[in-house]
C-alpha cells in the first residue's frame, strides 16, 4: 500500500473533490487546476513526480498528497483514496491529461449532488486528432462509499457497487488528451510499463500473462483496431500509433527478460568487483 504524506491542504469540505493521480505533470497541472477548480476542490495524489508538479500544484491552491515509499505503485492503488480522503463525500476520479466539457461537468456535479453515479466514456486524442477507437467506460463521479476499488491491477480500476443500478447512473464524455511528444511517451512507458511487467514477472504463469498482454493484445490486436478505426486519418498518425504499440511491447520484453533472467545482484557485484582488484 502507498504511504501518503499530506503536503498541503485547501478544501472546503462542501464541493465535489476532483481526485487526480499525477506523475510528472508540470506542463499540464496549471490549466487542469484552473479549469476543474471552477466546480471542484482539487486533490492531487502524487506518484513520485521528479519534476515541479508538487510545487506548482501547491502554489495554485491544490490539496497535495505525496507518496513517501520509493517503489512505483501505479494508479490502481490510489483509486481507494477517492473514498478514504474525500471530506465532502463527493468525488470525481480524473487524470491530469483529461478534459470534460463544461456542459458535462454541470451534469456530473448535479448528478452527484442527487446521489447518482456518473460513468465516463473515454475518448482518446493523439497529437490533436480525435481517434475513433472505443475507449473504456468506468465510474468517474460518485458519492463516498458507492464505488469500490480493485488493487490487483496496475491501472485505475473502480466499480460501482451492485446497489447502484443502471437507472441510477448517467454517462458523460471524458476526453483523453494524450502525450504531446515522443520524449514524454518514453518517460511514461518507463514508469508504468516497468511496473506492470514487474508485477507479471513475479506472478504465477508469468510467460502466459506476458504473451497475452504484450504480444497478443498490445501490438497485434490494438494495431489491427487502429488500422481499421483510424484508416481515414493521416497515414503518419496511424503509423505512429502502431509503432507506439510495438515500442511498448519491445520495452516490456526487455524488462521481462531482465527481471526473469538477468537480475542477480550478487553475481553482478562479483563480476564488477574484478575490475577493481
What is the rounded CA–CA span in Å between residue 170 and residue 152?
27
What is the rounded CA–CA span in Å between residue 171 and residue 169?
7
Q: Model's pTM, two decimal places?
A: 0.78
Q: Give the cell for residue 52.
A: 515541479
Residue 77 has a pLDDT of 56
Residue 22 has a pLDDT of 86
Residue 166 has a pLDDT of 52
207-253: per-residue pLDDT in tens?
A: 999 999 898 888 888 888 888 888 888 888 888 888 988 999 999 99
Strand pairing category for 90-95 and 98-99: unpaired
What is the rounded CA–CA span in Å between residue 137 and residue 93?
13
Beta bridge partners of 117: 169
Q: Give the cell for residue 54.
A: 508538487
Instruction: Pick the closest to residue 22 from 1, 40, 4 (CA basis).
Output: 4
Is a pLDDT exceeding 80 seen at residue 154? no
User: Would you tell me how many other CB atoms lie within 10 Å of the CB of residue 211?
Assistant: 12
Give residue 272's pLDDT band: very low, low, confident or very high (50, 70, 90). Answer: confident
What is the rounded CA–CA span in Å between residue 183 and residue 51?
14
Which contacts (CB < 8 Å, 24+ apart) does range 259-268 have? Answer: 259/197, 259/198, 259/201, 259/202, 260/201, 260/206
Fold of 4-177: Spore Coat Polysaccharide Biosynthesis Protein SpsA; Chain A (3.90.550)
Cβ-count burial of 86 within 10 angstroms (0-12 exposed, 13-18 middle, 19+ buried)?
buried
The rounded percent of the chain whose pLDDT value lies above 90 is: 22
Q: Is the alpha carbon torsion for 130, 251, 80, 14 positive or negative?
A: negative
Q: Is 89 left (phi over 0), alpha (psi -120 to 50) or beta?
A: left
Backbone angles phi and psi of 112, in degrees to 5: -65, -45
Length of the chain in terms of residues written: 277
Amino acid at each position: 500500500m502507498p504511504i501518503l504524506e499530506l503536503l498541503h491542504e485547501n478544501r472546503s469540505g462542501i464541493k465535489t473533490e476532483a481526485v487526480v493521480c499525477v506523475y510528472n505533470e508540470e506542463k499540464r497541472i496549471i490549466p487542469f487546476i484552473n479549469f476543474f477548480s471552477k466546480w471542484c476542490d482539487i486533490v492531487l495524489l502524487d506518484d513520485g513526480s521528479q519534476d515541479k508538479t508538487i510545487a506548482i500544484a501547491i502554489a495554485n491552491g491544490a490539496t497535495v498528497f505525496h507518496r513517501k515509499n520509493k517503489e512505483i505503485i501505479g494508479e490502481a492503488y490510489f483509486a481507494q483514496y477517492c473514498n478514504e480522503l474525500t471530506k465532502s463525500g463527493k468525488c470525481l476520479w480524473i487524470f491530469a491529461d483529461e478534459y470534460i466539457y463544461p456542459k458535462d461537468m454541470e451534469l456530473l456535479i448535479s448528478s452527484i449532488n442527487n446521489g447518482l453515479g456518473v460513468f465516463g466514456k473515454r475518448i482518446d486524442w493523439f497529437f490533436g486528432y480525435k481517434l475513433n477507437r472505443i475507449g473504456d467506460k468506468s465510474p468517474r463521479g460518485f458519492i463516498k462509499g458507492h464505488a469500490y476499488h480493485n488493487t490487483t491491477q496496475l491501472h485505475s480500476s473502480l466499480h460501482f457497487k451492485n446497489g447502484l443500478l443502471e437507472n441510477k447512473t448517467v454517462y458523460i464524455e471524458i476526453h483523453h488528451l494524450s502525450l504531446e511528444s515522443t520524449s514524454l511517451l518514453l518517460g511514461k512507458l518507463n514508469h508504468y510499463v516497468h511496473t506492470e511487467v514487474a508485477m507479471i514477472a513475479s506472478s504465477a504463469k508469468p510467460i502466459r500473462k506476458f504473451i497475452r498482454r504484450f504480444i497478443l493484445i498490445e501490438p497485434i490486436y490494438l494495431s489491427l483496431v487502429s488500422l481499421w478505426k483510424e484508416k481515414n486519418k493521416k497515414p503518419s498518425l496511424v503509423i505512429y500509433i502502431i509503432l507506439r504499440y510495438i515500442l511498448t511491447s519491445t520495452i516490456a520484453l526487455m524488462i521481462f527478460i531482465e527481471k526473469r533472467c538477468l537480475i542477480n545482484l550478487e553475481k553482478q557485484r562479483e563480476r564488477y568487483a574484478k575490475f577493481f582488484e
